[in-house]
Amino acid sequence: MKSKEELPTLVFATHNANKAAEVERMLEGRYRILTLSDIGCDEEIVEDSDTLEGNARIKARFVKTQYGMDCFADDTGLEVEALGGLPGVRTARYAGEKADSQANMSKLIQALEGVPETDRGARFRTSICLIQGEEELLLEGICEGRIALELEGTAGFGYDPIFHPEREFRTFAQMSQVEKNTVSHRGRAVRKMVNALLARFQ
């Protein structure tokens, strides 16, 4: 059995060690996952694309070019039908560059004021760019749902308290992490990547 240092390594373009550990567990011990902090990357990677795919690609290519390591990066957006797909690529900065989740959710609820539940359709979309050697792969996970009329639940992060995934009466913020991962956009995108990576061992 290989030691962790002997395993093929992938850098996850994030500073979140918990997210990296989660992916490493899903990869069944066949890959070693490092974060940006692990490789000493403290530079701010400017995500200035107008698409989620573009931002994921920017982050992954930055790591590959600057550090020469195989890597993957993700970007996520909330697309609301009644708002023409907004906030989309600006999901994390919807209420301003320094806005927090509360401000973003408040702005979204206000923007949908008067819109009935039947017309509050939305979807979360996660794009992952995986680079191994010379190969670049784009993967996507989508979770359809709708925007709640008000905040419901206290768990999770971001827009979780106002997003009802399809066929669910609860918001993400009212679900356990395991339940959310089963249906979430990010969970679906990561599972596609995991399957692609594990297939290399078959």
What is the set of active-site residues? Answer: 75
- Rounded CA separation 48/112 (Å): 27
CA dist 67 → 36, 62, 133 (Å) = 10, 8, 13
Amino acid at the residue 133: G
- Rounded CA separation 200/193 (Å): 11
CB 127 within 8 A of CB 74: yes
Instruction: Kindly report each contact of residues 56-59 with a partner whose C-beta sits within 8 Å and lies 24 or more positions away, as own/partner.
Output: 56/127, 56/128, 56/129, 56/138, 57/129, 57/136, 57/138, 59/13, 59/129
**3-state DSSP helix/strand/coil percent for the chain, to nearest 5?**
40, 25, 35
